[in-house]
Amino acid sequence: MDIFAHRGISGHYPENTGAAFYAASKLPIAGIELDVHLTADGELVVIHDETIDRTSNGTGYVKDYTLQQLRAFDYGSWFSEEFAGENIPTLGEVLELFVGTHHVINIELKTDVFPYEGIESLVIKEIATHQMTERVIISSFNHESLQIVTQLAPYIEKAALFAEILTDFTTYTSLIPAKAIHVSLPAAFRKSVRRALEEGAVVRVYTVNDIEYAKNLQQIGVHAIFTDEPEKIVAALQD
Ligand code: G3P
Ligand code: MG
């Protein structure tokens, strides 16, 4: 079962920052996951929420700031003073950390609240610039966004994110089309997810920080998990 560092090593570093991704780039794990939003001046930035309130010392929507304005805030000290001065990275800056590594990069398009017109083509361009087409997965809770990716770059792997569980994943994802489903814990143990596995879906589960859950998911044949604590989970699965 593959291990993905969720928002970087977000259990020990401020999520979605250079520090969290740099640490992940040094780990022998399958990949990382990150979240992307669009600034007022059309830059792709890596941050989870629509606002900067929770993960910086500022307030307001990402979409209302230019990149330069966003850079004026501190994205580390909310987590620990040790990380004071961490900044908000662009997608390009994060990809740069993984040039020359083997890691798969799961780019989650955070288009579920604001659709960020044009974000899909900008992300595809950034992936091409870094020659990472073969090792990225684009995912989103907004499946319309994934359909746009299909139109623009059908060769890029896509994954449909689900907060809820469907009765028939295979039929639904054929409409996108997406090879993989990213489902939540503990919903991953539902019959319909097992059926999707039997029908050939790639199943990845978020966010798994509990060792027993990780072991159970490995047992049922889940392909990957997203975790904030990759080192702990890797060590436990090796026991
Ligand atoms: O991509 C998996 C997971 O990150 C989805 O939920 O809210 O952590 O972005 P969230
Ligand atoms: Mg995410």
Burial group, residue 218, by CB count within 10 angstroms (0-12, 13-18, 19+): middle
Question: What total number of domains does the chain contain?
Answer: 1
Please tell me the distance from the alpha carbon of residue 137 to that of residue 67, in angstroms, as a whole number: 25
Measured in angstroms, how far is the CA atom of residue 155 from the centroid of ligand 1? 23
- CATH code for the domain in which residue 223 is found: 3.20.20.190
Please tell me the distance from the alpha carbon of residue 33 to that of residue 226, in angstroms, as a whole number: 7
| CB distance 228 to ligand 1 below 6 Å | no
- Report the SS3 class of residue 138: strand
**What is the per-residue pLDDT for 185?**
96
Q: Give the number of the atom of ligand 1 that is nearest the alpha carbon of residue 141.
A: 5
Measured in angstroms, how far is the CA atom of residue 32 from the centroid of ligand 2? 10
Please tell me the distance from the alpha carbon of residue 184 to that of residue 2, in angstroms, as a whole number: 16
**What is the per-residue pLDDT for 103?**
98
| CB distance 226 to ligand 1 below 6 Å | yes
| CB distance 182 to ligand 1 below 6 Å | yes
Q: What is the DSSP letter of 75?
A: S
| CB distance 15 to ligand 1 below 6 Å | no
| CB distance 126 to ligand 1 below 6 Å | no
Cβ contacts of residue 25 below 8 Å, gap of 6+? 32, 97, 98, 101, 103
Determine whether 182 is an active site residue.
Answer: no
Lookup result for tokens 């990225």: 136
Determine whether 6 is an active site residue.
Answer: yes
**What is the per-residue pLDDT for 239?**
81
| CB distance 33 to ligand 1 below 6 Å | yes
Please tell me the distance from the alpha carbon of residue 90 to that of residue 36, in angstroms, as a whole number: 9
Whole-angstrom distance between the N-terminal and C-terminal Cα of the chain?
14
- Nearest residue (by CA) to ligand 1, atom 1, is 108
Q: What average pLDDT values come out for the chain (239 residues) when binned by 10 residues?
A: 98 98 98 98 98 98 98 98 98 98 98 97 98 98 98 98 95 97 95 97 98 98 98 95
Please tell me the distance from the alpha carbon of residue 49 to that of residue 52, in angstroms, as a whole number: 7
Peptide bond into 28 cis (omega under 30): no
Tokens found for residue 93: 């800056």
Q: Which of 12, 37, 48, 223 is catalytic?
A: 48
Query: How high is the ipTM of this complex?
Result: 0.99
Measured in angstroms, how far is the CA atom of residue 49 from the centroid of ligand 1? 10
**What is the per-residue pLDDT for 230?**
98
Domain that holds residue 110: 2-238
Q: Give the number of the atom of ligand 1 that is nearest the alpha carbon of residue 139.
A: 1
Q: Which of 6, 37, 130, 182 is catalytic?
A: 6
- Nearest residue (by CA) to ligand 1, atom 2, is 206
